[in-house]
Amino acid sequence: MTPLVRFKPFPEPPAVILEYIAERSAEETMVDGPPPWDLGSLPTELMAPMPAWLDSVCRWLNGRYAWQPQDVIPPCWEQHEGLADQIAALAFARIEVYADVGSAVVWHEQYERFLSRMNRSLGKAGDECQVGRHQDRPSRFQLAAWPVRRTDGSNE
Task: Give the tens place of pLDDT for each residue, 28-53.
Answer: 666 678 889 999 999 999 999 999 99
The answer to whether residue 38 is domain-embedded is yes
Residue 51: which domain range? 11-136
Per the CB < 8 A criterion, the answer to whether 137 and 126 are in contact is no
* E strand or H helix at 63: helix 50-65
Q: At 70, phi and psi to the nearest 5?
A: -70, -10
The answer to whether residue 76 is domain-embedded is yes
The answer to whether residue 151 is domain-embedded is no
pTM score over 0.85 = no
Q: How many domains does the chain have?
A: 1
Q: Indicate if the pLDDT at residue 140 is higher than 80.
A: no
* pLDDT tens digit sequence for 51-105: 999 999 999 999 999 999 899 999 999 998 789 999 999 999 998 887 777 888 8
The answer to whether residue 46 is domain-embedded is yes
Instruction: Give buried/exposed letters for 142-151 (b at 16+ CB in 10 A, else e).
Output: eeeeeeeeee
The answer to whether residue 2 is domain-embedded is no
What gap in Å lies between CA 88 and CA 134, rounded to an integer? 21
What gap in Å lies between CA 99 and CA 102, rounded to an integer? 9
Per the CB < 8 A criterion, the answer to whether 50 and 39 are in contact is yes
The answer to whether residue 37 is domain-embedded is yes
The answer to whether residue 21 is domain-embedded is yes
